[in-house]
Amino acid sequence: MGNNQQTSVQPLKLRFIGPVIRASGLVPSLVTFIVLFLVASILVAAFEPGVSGFGNAAWLMFQVVTTIGLGDYTCVSVVGRVVAIVLSVYSVFFLALITGAVVSYCQERMRAQRNESVAKFIDQLEHLPELSHEELVALSEKVKKFNMSRR
Residue 60 has a CB neighbour count (10 Å cut-off) of 27
Across the chain, what does the average pLDDT equal?
85
* pTM (predicted TM-score): 0.66
The residue length of the chain stands at 151
The residue ranges of every structural domain in the chain are 21-149
- Residue 72 and residue 58: Cα distance in Å, rounded? 12
Q: How many CB atoms lie within 10 A of CB 128?
A: 10
Overall average pLDDT of the 14-28 stretch: 82
CA gap 76, 51 in Å, rounded: 10
Residue 15, SS3 per DSSP: helix
Say what the pLDDT of residue 11 is: 62
Q: What pLDDT, on a 0 to 100 scale, did the predictor assign at position 58?
A: 96
Average pLDDT over residues 110-128: 83
Q: How far apart are CA 135 and CA 144, in angstroms?
A: 14
> Shortest CA distance to 140 belongs to which of 121, 127, 117, 126?
121
> What are 79-99's pLDDT values in tens digits?
999 999 999 999 999 989 988
Question: Cα dist. 117→27, 59, 143, 149 in Å?
Answer: 33, 47, 13, 16
**Which of 3.30.70.270, 1.10.260.40, 1.10.287.70, 1.10.3720.10 is the CATH number of 21-149?**
1.10.287.70
pLDDT score at 4: 45
Residue 12 near residue 106, CB atoms below 8 Å? yes
Collapsed DSSP state (helix, strand, coil) of residue 50? coil
The confidence score (pLDDT) of residue 42 equals 97
* CA dist., res. 145 & res. 138, Å (int): 11
CB 50 within 8 A of CB 76: yes
